[in-house]
Amino acid sequence: MHINEYIAQMPAGYLFAEIARRVREYEALNPASPVIRMGIGDVTRPLAPSVARAFADAALAMGTPEGFHGYGPDGGYPFLIELILRHEYQARGVRLDPDEVFISDGAKTDTAAIQELFAPDAVIAVTDPVYPVYVDSNAMAGRLGHYRDGRWQKLVTLPCTHDNDFVPQLPSQRVDVLYLCLPNNPTGTVLSREQLQAIVDWARANDTLIVFDAAYKAFISDPQLPRSIYEIEGAREVAVECCSYSKSAGFTGVRCAWTVIPKALKGRRKNGERVSLNAMWTRRCGSKYNGVSYPVQKAAAATYTEEGQAEIKDIIDGYRQNAGLLMDALSDTACRPVGGVHAPYVWLKTPGGMSGWQFFDYLLTTAQVVGTPGEGFGAGGAGCFRLTAFSTPENTKEAARRVREALGRL
């Protein structure tokens, strides 16, 4: 059989494998020098106790005639959707209908699958550096052409760097879809309400869809900053929003998320007819998807009880404090750290013109600290480096001290 050439031609996704290889090699040669891992994007703290309890209770109920649940509704159980509408949207003045919310097993799943709704020749734009899923999913569908000299031929990239304060300059060329991730992975930066409004206005004027990844919205600590793109006027006509319990409630191993597709959002057929993306996604999920398990959705619902909210706030505050420790330790260095306030990521400029990989090796061998080279997130990440706050306070403090000391030695 003939294969999908686009998947076959994908460059190797070697970033985390290569990091693991270098760390393994170093540890084997230096068993007496313990390494602190500050590179992973996975949470480390356990589930909130009340959430774990709800998860277990629902699983046990599945073993009884009264509590058993078979296939659930494709879009998710109404009990969870109602809670999402109330806590995530109505509380911030955003009104959505229940059938505009779709429960899924991950923001990765949905940000990767949403491209099934786009034309094969749709022009895709991403901010750069970028969470790689948006690029890879479109590349696999053949939309980005070939990968040459470290770039996808047909991908439009909007650099977000220290030099432009991480505010993307909007493209002058026609773009069908723009992926935006705020708070951003990997840079940890956010955009103000006004900056986001300018992007939404541009999208409306240019008939561009925004895929808004809000996986880190729970880390936003300034109430003035938008947590949902639908807080921005006109956004419901141009934006899909993907959210997740992974980073807000430690669900990376549990798997639960949601995507909002407003009914006001329309795409265009070749003949000019406008078509509801909500209807298309509903149709697509009906054919390809059987939903998220009942115990998982019960666990997600438990994050909205008073007890659950307090426990989750404590977990997020813990990661925020870690990010603060990193920022405090590095703020007056030449690394110009950004992020770390509304996100669990701190983004550094590597010193002395080092590449991200050179700085990786330098920190590993002199400070025994592991981070992520910016090159792993696209060309715009070259010469940068990501540290994460998903560690213990003790390790974070020690890592921050070691990085600072290593920088002082340069």
| Residue corresponding to tokens 């930066």 | 189
Shortest Cβ distance from residue 230 to ligand PLP (Å)?
Answer: 18
Instruction: Identify which of residues 41 and 383 has a Cβ nearer to ligand PLP in the complex.
Output: 41
For residues 83-122, which are near ligand PLP according to CB under 6 A?
106-108
Shortest Cβ distance from residue 361 to ligand PLP (Å)?
Answer: 24
Instruction: Identify which of residues 109 and 368 has a Cβ nearer to ligand PLP in the complex.
Output: 109
Interface map 126-165 toward ligand PLP (x if CB under 6 A):
-----x----------------------------------
Instruction: Identify which of residues 104 and 368 has a Cβ nearer to ligand PLP in the complex.
Output: 104
b/e burial code for range 173-185 (CB count within 10 A of at least 16 → b): eebbbbbbbbbbb
Instruction: Identify which of residues 344 and 383 has a Cβ nearer to ligand PLP in the complex.
Output: 344
Do 87 and 81 contact (CB within 8 A), yes or no?
Answer: no
Q: Which of 80, 96, 64, 60 is nearest to 302 (CA)?
A: 80
Strands in 124-128's sheet, in edge-to-edge order, are: 101-104, 257-260, 239-244, 209-213, 177-181, 124-128, 156-159
Instruction: Identify which of residues 212 and 362 has a Cβ nearer to ligand PLP in the complex.
Output: 212
Exposed, middle or buried by CB within 10 Å (0-12, 13-18, 19+), for 270? exposed
| 199: contact with ligand PLP by CB under 6 A | no
| 333: contact with ligand PLP by CB under 6 A | no
Do 99 and 73 contact (CB within 8 A), yes or no?
Answer: no
**Farthest-apart Cα atoms in the chain, separation:** 68
Shortest Cβ distance from residue 192 to ligand PLP (Å)?
Answer: 19
Do 284 and 116 contact (CB within 8 A), yes or no?
Answer: yes
Instruction: Identify which of residues 133 and 367 has a Cβ nearer to ligand PLP in the complex.
Output: 133
Please give the residue whose beta carbon sits closest to ligand PLP in the complex.
106
| 389: contact with ligand PLP by CB under 6 A | no
Question: Three-class SS string for 147-188?
Answer: EECCEECCCEEEECCHHHCCCCCCCCCCCCEEEEECCCCCCC
Q: Parallel, antiparallel, or unpaired for β 156-159 and 151-152?
A: unpaired
The strand ranges marked E within 57-129 are 101-104, 124-128
Bridge partners of residue 353, in order along the sequence: none
Instruction: Give the rounded distance of the alpha carbon of 4 from its chain centre.
Output: 27
Q: Which of 208, 228, 244, 293 is the binder for ligand PLP (CB under 6 A)? A: 244
Binding segment toward ligand PLP, per CB under 6 A, in 244-252, 290-298, 320-328, 395-403: 244-252
Q: Binding residues for ligand PLP, how many (CB under 6 A)? A: 13
Shortest Cβ distance from residue 282 to ligand PLP (Å)?
Answer: 21
| 390: contact with ligand PLP by CB under 6 A | no
Instruction: Identify which of residues 293 and 368 has a Cβ nearer to ligand PLP in the complex.
Output: 293
Q: Parallel, antiparallel, or unpaired for β 177-181 and 124-128?
A: parallel
| 215: contact with ligand PLP by CB under 6 A | yes
| 41: contact with ligand PLP by CB under 6 A | yes
| DSSP secondary structure letters along 297-329 | HHHHHHTTSHHHHHHHHHHHHHHHHHHHHHHHH
Q: What is the rounded CA–CA span in Å between residue 227 and residue 205?
A: 23
| 185: contact with ligand PLP by CB under 6 A | yes
Shortest Cβ distance from residue 407 to ligand PLP (Å)?
Answer: 26
For residues 255-294, which are near ligand PLP according to CB under 6 A?
257
Shortest Cβ distance from residue 362 to ligand PLP (Å)?
Answer: 25
Shortest Cβ distance from residue 189 to ligand PLP (Å)?
Answer: 13
Q: What is the rounded CA–CA span in Å between residue 186 and residue 3?
A: 33
Binding site for ligand PLP (CB under 6 A): 41, 106-108, 131, 181, 185, 213, 215, 244, 246, 252, 257
